[in-house]
Structure 1
Amino acid sequence: MKGKGFCLDYFRVIKKVVGIFLILGLFLSIIPDTFYGQAKQEKSSQKLIITDLLGRRVEIENKKNKRIVAIGPGALRLVLYVNGTKNIVGVENAEKAWEEGSRTYIMAYPQLKKLPVIGQGGADSSPDPEKLISVKPDVIFAASFLDRAKADNLQQKTNVPVVVLDYGNKLLFDQNVYKSLRIIGQIVGKIERAEELINYMQRLKGFFHSRTKDIPNSKKPKVYIGAISFKGGHGFESTWGRYFPFMAINVLNVADTSGKEGWFMVDKEKILEWDPDIIFVDEANLDIIKQDYKKNPEFYKSLSAFKNGRVYGQLPYNFYWTNIDTVIANTFWIAKTVYPERFKDVDPVKRADEVYKFFLGKPLYSKMAKKFGGFTKIKFD
């Protein structure tokens, strides 16, 4: 009986041991798949998927302290608005070679000129894949001078994500600018800063509109903007249809009667026909106007604005695309000049520095005014 009992106990033990090993084996077979799934999920979460302004789906490594470059007209400016100079690892040669001009972002961050060159830059230049690769960027922000095919080609050649930004066509308060700022904020980890910029611009848009929306056209002066820079300097005949600083404060822009939108050249005879009450000129091209005034004073003296001393300067805003900060600063000045009673509590100089500090961290009005003239009446005799 003892032998039989011993055998039964032995087989029970063996059965338990075998069962334990079977369970252990099954558990061990599950663990690798579980860990693999976690690793795959973690790896997937490290990818940030962005849809840029061309509608391209771009995958970016979602890591901190990304190395950043920006190429083409205006791209660097937008990045600096959101992120300052942090993690910018190179700049285009044009940013170094050009004089500072009205590029307020270079005034604010002159140290950018000491960074390595990532390509030639300029309105009609092509990206330089080799120089871009040399600074080992994690992301390339590009202006909309690149179309979809060129952006894809550059991304393929550099093996670096290329994200295309855009300013839109309004100069100010444009939805494409807002989208671009949000994309930059998402990529560099500054979403709150991007939203602060957008909310600030939207508040200003509301401020300008609320103070001017109920002024009847019969009570508004006729206004002209001349000497606008566009791919270089131009004289008095260079103007802008649906000029957005004028639109923001509901100004009667005589150039709008042409039906044109954006930059165009107009005949002097047409300006005589319009005969604006108030004229603003881009101070970057003031010398061109003064030279022309000496040659043809009769033309200018025939205009009501010149006869009545109502010609004013505005700060240059267009250099390697739009300096949005300066456009806003100019809008305060234009509003104060055209509607003095509606904006009697506004000091355009103080508001300009407020704008520069918000966008670029530094008050820049005095430097701009010293270089170009500032918010002032222009004298020709």
Structure 2
Amino acid sequence: MKSNLQYCVFVTVLLSVLLSAGCVGNASEDSAVSHEKYRTVVDSRGVAVQVPIEIEKVATISDGMIEGVMTSIGVQDTLVGVGSSCLQRNFKYAYETVGGETFIYEDGMNPVTYLNPGIVDLPCFAKSGSAVNYETLASLDPDVVIVRLGSCSLRFIDDESTQKSIETIESLGIPLVVLYGSNCYDDPDVTTISDEICIIGQVFGKEAETTKLAGYLESQTNLINERTKDIPDEEKPDVLIFGASPKARGDGGAGQIFGLDTIESFFIQDIAHAKNGFQESGYFKTVSAEHVLALDPDVIVLCTASGYHPPLELYEAPYYQNLQELSAVKNRRVVALPWSPCNCAKRLEYPIDVMVIAKGTYPEHFEDINLAEWLLDFYQNVYGVDRDTAKELRSAQWMDWTVEGCPTCS
């Protein structure tokens, strides 16, 4: 696997040279003062943005990626407004089985929300399905706005409304740094996530911290890659990412799946070295029960899709009794990814997704990894929290089944 961490170092050095060059020769006093007050950040568009060196107020449009990095590097207190309602909610879901039992999942939330409870009280100036409230954004008077395209509030990079939102924010005269989420690329991979992390580090002058963070995340997926890269093609199981979305069922489908042009497929094929069970293109593609039965994957990985979906839902929910002949269901090879509200683009927790996929696909290759303990180590490394707080984060993402023996998995 390639690494883009060199990008972080290269851009940092390049900007230092450019800024130093701008401070010598016949530069005016005003120009020198300007360089002292601002730093240049090159965002995902390739646009050089002047941001204040002293940043006190930040507004974001993201589902937790930007805010997660800010929390990790200790600048979360500069947040004055957010652009995702999912950062401000505590979620609860309940499922009934054909046997009449009810399973309830409570207090689910984004790790950022748990770590920064005050985020629920911040003004929310954008959310999925609604236009950006520019009046609210302007009233916050932020020093910089950081926007992540691909997040649920600005989901599609080429969408006319997305481009209009960028133009309008820029017209307010506020420095705007634009990030491209992994789903903005034709061939997404984890190095683009590292790029985003490094750009955020440049905004706050925390390049060393974000380079370390991006390196840690990539090291976790590299571990998986090293263990699975030599598995012969004929031994690679078919793995299907499946969103058991109630919206998909309402539209007459069984759920949603992810094709070869998604980061989910990169996780399966390029890191875990299995085979994507859906060898076409498609992102949250709604499919029928007949289609899923025809694919008949060896392993099913349930993702966040208009709600949280544990394996028990696929095994025993009344509305999924038409999928009981699936090999993965009969062999009890269904696993669930962590709760990720507004799951439009991957965030800092993406290595958890890859590890769950890998362990669910090749348990014999990862017998030495206790997922419950690995998760605690992950949260501690990413967010700098103690062990007790890491346990709370594990609970907030509904991953306690790793401790309890997964009572809802069998």
Same fold, TM-score > 0.5, yes or no? yes
In proportion to residue count, which structure has more helix?
A: 1
Aligned pair in 2 of structure 1 residues 266, 167: CA closer, same or farther (>3 Å)? same
CA contact (8 A) 2:147 2:176 kept: yes
CA contact (8 A) 1:85 1:112 kept: no
Alignment partner of 1:196 is 2:212: yes
CA contact (8 A) 1:293 1:300 kept: no
Alignment partner of 1:227 is 2:248: no
Aligned pair in 2 of structure 1 residues 210, 368: CA closer, same or farther (>3 Å)? same
Aligned pair in 2 of structure 1 residues 220, 132: CA closer, same or farther (>3 Å)? same
Q: CA deviation at 1:187?
A: 1.4
CA contact (8 A) 1:72 1:142 kept: yes
Counterparts of 1:318 and 1:300, CA distance in 2: 25
Alignment partner of 1:246 is 2:289: no
The residue identity in structure 2 corresponding to 1:365 is R
Aligned pair in 2 of structure 1 residues 313, 47: CA closer, same or farther (>3 Å)? closer
Counterparts of 1:44 and 1:296, CA distance in 2: 61
Deviations 1:208-249 (A, max 9, x none): 111101111222332222226699998753111232331321
1:278 aligns with one of 291, 295, 299: 299
Counterparts of 2:375 and 2:328, CA distance in 1: 25
CA contact (8 A) 2:143 2:174 kept: yes
Counterparts of 1:301 and 1:150, CA distance in 2: 45
Counterparts of 1:156 and 1:349, CA distance in 2: 48
The residue identity in structure 2 corresponding to 1:68 is V
Q: CA deviation at 1:189?
A: 1.6
1:357 aligns with one of 356, 374, 380: 380
**SS of equivalent residue, structure 2 residue 364:** coil
Structure 2 gaps of 5+ residues are 1-24, 92-107, 155-160
The residue identity in structure 2 corresponding to 1:237 is G
Counterparts of 2:61 and 2:110, CA distance in 1: 15
The residue identity in structure 2 corresponding to 1:356 is Y
Alignment partner of 1:44 is 2:66: no
2:278 aligns with one of 219, 238, 255: 255
Deviations 1:316-371 (A, max 9, x none): 33525335344321322222232122112111122222222333344111333378
**SS of equivalent residue, structure 1 residue 285:** coil
Aligned pair in 2 of structure 1 residues 352, 231: CA closer, same or farther (>3 Å)? farther
Q: CA deviation at 1:188?
A: 0.9
Instruction: Please list, as runs of the form range in 1=range in 2, the aligned pairs for 1:3-18 lying within 5 A after superposition.
Output: none
Instruction: Please list, as runs of the form range in 1=range in 2, the aligned pairs for 1:322-333 lying within 5 A after superposition.
Output: 322-333=345-356
1:265 aligns with one of 286, 308, 311: 286
Q: CA deviation at 1:281?
A: 2.0
1:111 aligns with one of 118, 122, 146: 118
CA contact (8 A) 1:70 1:79 kept: no
In the superposition, the TM-score normalised over structure 2's length comes to 0.71
Instruction: Please list, as runs of the form range in 1=range in 2, the aligned pairs for 1:18-167 lying within 5 A after superposition.
Output: 37-38=28-29, 40-62=31-53, 64-74=54-64, 75-92=66-83, 94-95=85-86, 98-100=89-91, 101-115=108-122, 117-119=123-125, 121-144=126-149, 145=154, 147-157=162-172, 159-167=173-181
CA contact (8 A) 2:89 2:109 kept: no
CA contact (8 A) 2:309 2:336 kept: no
Aligned pair in 2 of structure 1 residues 232, 293: CA closer, same or farther (>3 Å)? closer
Aligned pair in 2 of structure 1 residues 85, 296: CA closer, same or farther (>3 Å)? closer
CA contact (8 A) 1:71 1:142 kept: yes
Q: CA deviation at 1:288?
A: 10
CA contact (8 A) 2:59 2:79 kept: yes
2:366 aligns with one of 343, 358, 362: 343
Q: Which residue of 1 aligns with 2:326?
A: 303
Aligned pair in 2 of structure 1 residues 128, 293: CA closer, same or farther (>3 Å)? closer
Aligned pair in 2 of structure 1 residues 377, 118: CA closer, same or farther (>3 Å)? closer
The residue identity in structure 1 corresponding to 2:309 is N
Aligned pair in 2 of structure 1 residues 97, 313: CA closer, same or farther (>3 Å)? closer
Aligned pair in 2 of structure 1 residues 93, 379: CA closer, same or farther (>3 Å)? closer
The residue identity in structure 2 corresponding to 1:69 is A
Q: CA deviation at 1:41?
A: 2.1
Counterparts of 1:250 and 1:206, CA distance in 2: 12
CA contact (8 A) 2:340 2:397 kept: no
Counterparts of 2:124 and 2:267, CA distance in 1: 34
The residue identity in structure 2 corresponding to 1:316 is W
CA contact (8 A) 1:52 1:58 kept: yes
The residue identity in structure 2 corresponding to 1:184 is I
Counterparts of 2:141 and 2:256, CA distance in 1: 42
Counterparts of 1:69 and 1:128, CA distance in 2: 12
The residue identity in structure 2 corresponding to 1:163 is V
The residue identity in structure 1 corresponding to 2:256 is S
Q: Specify which structure has the bigger relative contact order, considering alpha-carbon pairs within 8 angstroms and separated by 6 or more residues.
A: 2
**SS of equivalent residue, structure 2 residue 77:** coil
Counterparts of 1:233 and 1:67, CA distance in 2: 42
Aligned pair in 2 of structure 1 residues 97, 278: CA closer, same or farther (>3 Å)? closer
CA contact (8 A) 1:229 1:282 kept: no
The residue identity in structure 2 corresponding to 1:246 is I
Q: CA deviation at 1:185?
A: 0.9
Structure 1 segments of 4+ aligned residues over 6 angstroms from their partners: 230-235, 370-375
Q: Which residue of 2 aligns with 1:366?
A: 395
Q: Percent identity?
A: 21
Aligned pair in 2 of structure 1 residues 359, 172: CA closer, same or farther (>3 Å)? farther
Number of residue pairs matched by the alignment: 340
Counterparts of 2:331 and 2:70, CA distance in 1: 43
Aligned pair in 2 of structure 1 residues 197, 236: CA closer, same or farther (>3 Å)? farther
Larger radius of gyration: 1
Aligned pair in 2 of structure 1 residues 267, 231: CA closer, same or farther (>3 Å)? closer
The residue identity in structure 2 corresponding to 1:176 is T
